[in-house]
């Protein structure tokens, strides 16, 4: 692997911009992919998250685009991203590394007005970065012609498939010229992606810098046992946050969008600097929350998996999997938000009683064991009801909306008779204390199940 970017064949404008950004040595994926891409070969790049995949296609693309110019509504290159956040991250990379170029760029994502996007498209753009849905909307409106695309990038291909974009990708590719350079990047590789590459790529070069679905060695991974009750689980999270050494900021992942909002509000009520990020938020709110987290105005970011691959914040110190991810591959991408660019990071995964199946799938995927954290029981179970009283959550309510009363206990109660044997003794004591004679007739069909209803004891009336 070359020791610096100058030996990869990039233009001087690009290498100067890379040096100005503070990078001197390419990552493994960059060193292997860039020379092939400069030769205009199709490429499949498999690498774990946080290894510099974005720069591995942005840098050679900038060099290739130095020749030629854009025409109205006909972008020269197209980059497909699964999420708005990831598309914005790629746009930031183009601005950073393309500072010495006079290339035009447009970001076509949902949540941004069509009018602003149309103005850029009408002038012509060299680089078009888009999410599949919004791109097809613009195409159907007649605002984009894809016949001039020279380079196609399908980024985070496995995530594209998970999010159901396969049909959209097929529609887009059918509108592109057959003679083009195609790059496909992914953190994982399965049979479905293999089929995708056979359809859209021609004799691609395979570059794989790490075992599929591996996790970075710079991340200290730990498991934390937690109770299943939501309020006790939230209390356990707060206890772990308070006990974590060196925590400067953290991303907390939940499986469901509604849990993201609930957890963020709970943390805020307890005085933590926390914000929420999920797919139901409008684009303005999402960008404002992300900006606050990047600029350290927020310490904790509670997020759904929509943000798992769309955040490029090098200095995230901790990741908390509040929920064990349903899809094992999401674990790799979640914890990949920390330990980036050679830094060390910590990832905690909270494991409840019903999470065994999903945890087993994760351990099988990453092919390494993860130790449980050696600690006392979570605060919610260690202090009994104290955690519920301080958690900020409402007490559990009965069907009529009133709080359920706590069971009364006496000071001299040492044990509770809950075993079958103890229950039998208790029943025996009750029978011995009952009256010797039972007033009910011996032939009553109700046996000793309880008193006979009064109406059955009345004398029957016989009509004459």
The radius of gyration of the chain's CA atoms, rounded to the nearest angstrom, is 31
The CATH number corresponding to 219-390 among 3.40.630.10, 3.30.565.10, 3.40.50.300, 3.30.70.420 equals 3.40.50.300
pLDDT along the chain (464 residues), means of 10: 82 94 89 95 84 91 89 90 88 93 90 81 91 92 91 91 86 92 86 84 89 78 95 96 95 93 96 90 84 93 76 85 91 87 90 95 92 62 36 39 37 38 45 45 48 64 58
In this structure, what are the phi and psi dihedrals at residue 388, rounded to the nearest 5 degrees?
Answer: -65, -35
Distance from C-alpha of 327 to C-alpha of 284, rounded to nearest angstrom: 29
Distance from C-alpha of 101 to C-alpha of 14, rounded to nearest angstrom: 8
> Facing residues of 302 across strands?
252, 276
All CATH 3.40.50.300 domain ranges in the chain, comma separated: 5-208, 219-390
Which two structure tokens, joined as six digits, stand for 410?
């006496």
User: DSSP character for 256?
Assistant: S
Distance from C-alpha of 414 to C-alpha of 409, rounded to nearest angstrom: 10
Is 5-208 CATH 3.40.50.720?
A: no
pLDDT at 434: 45
Q: Which of 299, 247, 293, 305 is nearest to 270 (CA)?
A: 299
* Residue 122 burial class via C-beta count within 10 angstroms: exposed 0-12, middle 13-18, buried 19 and up: exposed
Helix, strand, coil distribution of the chain in percent, nearest 5: 40, 15, 45
3-state secondary structure of 384: coil
pLDDT at 421: 44
pLDDT at 129: 96
**pTM for the complete prediction?**
0.63
Do the beta carbons of residue 238 and residue 300 sit within 8 Å? no
User: Of all helices (H) and strands (E), which one includes residue 208?
Assistant: strand 205-208
From its phi and psi, is residue 296 left (phi > 0), alpha (psi between -120 and 50) or beta?
left
3-state secondary structure of 403: strand
pLDDT at 384: 36
Would the CA dihedral through 404, 410, 414, 418 be positive or negative? Answer: negative
Q: Which of 292, 288, 298, 323 is nearest to 308 (CA)?
A: 323
């Amino acid at each position: 692997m070359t020791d610096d970017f100058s030996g990869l064949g990039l233009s001087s404008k690009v290498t100067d911009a890379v040096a100005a950004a503070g990078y001197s040595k390419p990552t493994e994926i960059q060193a292997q992919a860039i020379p092939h891409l400069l030769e205009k070969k199709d490429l499949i790049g498999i690498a774990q998250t946080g290894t510099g995949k974005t720069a591995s296609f942005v840098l050679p693309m900038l060099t290739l685009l130095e020749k030629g110019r854009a025409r109205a509504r006909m972008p020269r290159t197209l980059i497909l991203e699964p999420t708005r956040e990831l598309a914005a991250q790629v746009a930031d990379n183009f601005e950073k590394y393309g500072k010495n170029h006079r290339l035009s760029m447009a970001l076509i994502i949902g949540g941004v007005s069509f009018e602003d996007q149309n103005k850029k498209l009408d002038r012509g753009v060299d680089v078009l970065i888009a999410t599949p849905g919004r791109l097809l909307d613009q195409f159907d409106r007649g605002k984009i012609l894809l016949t001039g695309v020279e380079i196609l990038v399908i980024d985070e291909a496995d995530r594209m498939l998970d999010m159901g974009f396969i049909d959209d990708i097929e529609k887009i590719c059918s509108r592109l010229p057959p003679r083009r350079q195609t790059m496909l990047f992914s953190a994982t590789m399965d049979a479905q992606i293999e089929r995708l590459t056979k359809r859209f790529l021609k004799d691609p070069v395979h570059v794989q810098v790490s075992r599929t679905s591996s996790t970075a060695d710079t991340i200290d991974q730990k498991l934390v046992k937690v109770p299943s009750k939501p309020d006790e689980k939230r209390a356990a999270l707060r206890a772990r946050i308070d006990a974590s050494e060196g925590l400067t900021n953290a991303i907390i992942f939940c499986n469901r969008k509604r849990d993201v909002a609930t957890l963020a509000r709970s943390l805020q009520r307890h005085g933590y600097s926390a914000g929420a990020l999920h797919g139901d938020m409008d684009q303005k709110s999402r960008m404002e929350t992300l900006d606050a987290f990047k600029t350290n105005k927020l310490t904790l970011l509670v997020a759904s998996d929509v943000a798992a691959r769309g955040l490029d914040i090098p200095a995230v110190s901790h990741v908390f999997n509040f929920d064990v991810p349903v899809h094992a591959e999401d674990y790799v991408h979640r914890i990949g938000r920390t330990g980036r660019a050679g830094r060390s990071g910590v990832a905690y995964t909270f494991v409840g009683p019903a999470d065994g199946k999903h945890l087993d799938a994760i351990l099988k995927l990453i092919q390494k064991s993860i130790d449980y954290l050696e600690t006392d029981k979570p605060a919610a179970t260690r202090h009994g009801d104290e955690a519920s009283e301080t958690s900020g959550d409402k007490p559990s309510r009965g069907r009529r909306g009133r709080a359920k009363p706590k069971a009364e206990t006496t000071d001299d109660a040492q044990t509770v008779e809950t075993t079958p044997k103890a229950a039998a003794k208790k029943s025996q004591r009750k029978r011995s204390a009952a009256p010797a004679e039972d007033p009910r007739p011996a032939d009553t069909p109700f046996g000793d199940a309880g008193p006979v209803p009064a109406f059955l004891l009345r004398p029957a009336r016989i009509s004459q």
